[in-house]
């Protein structure tokens, strides 16, 4: 994940700029830059990836009348009833939503050429992301059911687990941005990487909101 982004964001222009046609290729077309367009398309593919998982979830769910209490074991069914206590997950949701705002604050800071503002905001975002991951790990440890406990357990851990993996990937990207920001590599004119990573972070946030609504409310 991290290497991908770094390549997407920092090497995208490389050879083009050194080429005899560098000027031509850029044309007067303007519009969004290559790395940002690349990131948007990558997010499209990620949306389809999660669509596959969500489709599986709803398809399995639709085949049970008493979802999620589908186990023969009454104790497990108690644990499955996430709707009864959504508050912990709601806390995680709030953390992630706040981190989206701080991330965007970092973007607007660098647009104003405010490098300290950028690193500060990205630092906070990274910490919030890590807090989310730790919170999720703690949640997993205390939920009382496992991946192989009925299709509910399987879908729950697969969906939230892959989301967690994406948060982790996003956190790695944020670390790279933080590192490069501290090294003074960004300016109001050169910060495609920041824009691209912030898009990714918002995407991860939106997936979580969809997950939370599906698993705890719907």
Partner 1 sequence: MATTTLTPAASAYRTGLYEWLTTTDHKRIGILYIVNSFIFFFIGGLFALGVRTELAQPGLQFVHDELLYNQLFTMHGTVMIFLFIIPMLVGFGNYVAPLQIGAPDMAFPRINALSFWMLPLAGVLLLMGFLTGGAAQAGWTSYSPLAQDRPLSSTGPGEDLWIMALTLIGTSSILGGINFLVTIFKMRAPGMTMFRMPILVWTVLVTSVLVVMATPVLTSALIMLFIDRNYGGHFFDPGGPNGGGGSAILWQNVFWFYSHPAVYIMVLPAMGMISEILPVFSRKPLFGYKAFVFATAGIGALGFSVWAHHMFTTGQVFLPFFSLMTFLIAVPTGVKMFNWIFTLFRGKLTFSTPLLFALGFLSMFLIGGINGAFSAAVPVDFALQDTYWVVAHLHYVLFGGSVFGVMAGLYYWFPKMTGRMLNETLGKIQFVLMFVGFNLTFFPMHQLGLAGMPRRIADYASDAGWNDLNLAATIGGFTIAASTLPLIWNVFSSLRAGKPAGDDPWEANTLEWATSSPPPPYNFDHLPEIRSERPLFDLRHGRTVVH
Q: Which residues bind partner 1 (CB under 8 A)?
A: 4, 7-8, 11-12, 14-16, 19-22, 24-25, 27-29, 31, 34, 37-38, 41-42, 44-46, 48-53, 55-56, 59-60, 63, 70, 147-148, 150-151, 153-155, 158, 162
Q: Which is nearer to partner 1, 20 or 184 (CB)?
A: 20
Q: Phi first, then psi: what are they for 36, rounded to 5°?
A: -70, -40
Separation between Cα atoms, residue 94 and residue 170, nearest integer Å: 17
Closest contact distance (angstroms) between CB of 121 and partner 1 is 27
Smallest distance, partner 1 to C-beta of residue 77, A:
14
Task: Determine whether 48 is exposed, middle or buried from the number of CB atoms within 10 Å of its CB (0-12, 13-18, 19+).
Answer: exposed
Question: Which residue in this structure is represented by tokens 């109001």?
Answer: 188
For partner 1, the closer CB: 118 or 208 = 208
Q: Which positions ≥6 away from 175 have C-beta within 8 Å?
A: 2, 126
E strand or H helix at 97, and its extent? helix 87-111
> Nearer Cβ to partner 1, position 71 or 99?
71
* Count of positions (residues) in the chain: 218
Shortest Å, Cβ 128 to partner 1: 27
Nearest approach, Cβ of 168 to partner 1 (angstroms)?
A: 16
Phi, psi of 149 (to 5 degrees): -85, 90
Comparison of 51 and 108: residue with beta carbon closer to partner 1: 51
Cβ 150 to partner 1 shortest distance, Å: 6
Residues 6+ apart with CB under 8 A from 173: 1, 2, 5, 197, 200, 201
Cβ closest to partner 1, residue 132 vs residue 152: 152
With left for phi above 0 and alpha for psi between -120 and 50, is residue 178 left, alpha or beta? alpha
In the complex, what is the shortest distance from the CB of residue 141 to partner 1, in angstroms, rounded to a whole number?
17
Closer residue to partner 1 in complex, CB, 50/119:
50
**Is 105 in contact with 117 (CB distance < 8 Å)?**
yes
Q: Residue 152: count other Cβ atoms within 10 Å of its Cβ.
A: 24
């Amino acid at each position: 994940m991290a290497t991908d982004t770094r390549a997407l964001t920092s090497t995208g222009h490389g050879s083009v700029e050194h080429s005899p046609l560098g000027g031509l290729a850029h044309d007067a077309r303007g519009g969004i830059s290559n790395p940002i367009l690349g990131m948007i398309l990558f997010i499209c593919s990620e949306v389809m990836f999660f669509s596959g998982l969500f489709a599986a979830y709803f398809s399995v769910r639709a085949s049970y009348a008493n979802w999620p209490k589908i186990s023969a074991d009454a104790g497990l069914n108690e644990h499955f009833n996430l709707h009864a206590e959504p508050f912990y997950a709601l806390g995680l949701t709030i953390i992630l939503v706040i981190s989206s705002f701080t991330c965007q604050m970092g973007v607007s800071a660098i647009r104003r050429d405010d490098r300290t503002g950028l690193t500060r905001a990205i630092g906070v975002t990274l910490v919030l992301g890590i807090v989310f991951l730790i919170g999720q790990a703690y949640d997993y440890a205390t939920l009382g059911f496992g991946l192989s406990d009925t299709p509910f357990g399987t879908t729950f851990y697969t969906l939230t687990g892959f989301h967690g993996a994406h948060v982790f990937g996003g956190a790695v990207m944020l670390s790279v941005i933080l590192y490069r920001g501290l090294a003074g590599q960004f300016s109001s004119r050169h910060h495609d990487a920041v824009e691209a990573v912030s898009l990714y972070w918002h995407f991860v946030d939106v997936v979580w909101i969809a997950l939370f609504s599906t698993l705890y409310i719907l």
